[in-house]
Amino acid sequence: MDDFQIKVELSKLENQIQELENKQNGVKFNVAILQQSMDKLQQSLEKLLKTLATNLDLWYASTNTNTEKDEDEQTDKSKCH
């Protein structure tokens, strides 16, 4: 291999290295965007779970109150008979 061929091959390798570095930077950028999206998704899920828990607590509270009233009414009706 003469000097010219070596320089050509070296140039090809340098271009391949540059392409790989560009790809690597693109991947790093995509990973950063994905991480941000995952963080936002996690925050949204946490909000949703808190809202669901609150709604479930309210539903249980209203169900328990209605059940107690119904039981009292049934007891009162049975006393009448």
pLDDT value of residue 54: 95
Read off the pLDDT of residues 34-80 as tens digits, 9 standing for 90 and up: 999 999 999 999 999 999 999 999 998 888 865 555 566 666 656 66
CA separation for the pair 75, 62 (Å, rounded)? 20
pLDDT value of residue 71: 60
Threshold 0.75, pTM exceeds? no
Inform me whether the pLDDT recorded for 11 exceeds 90: yes
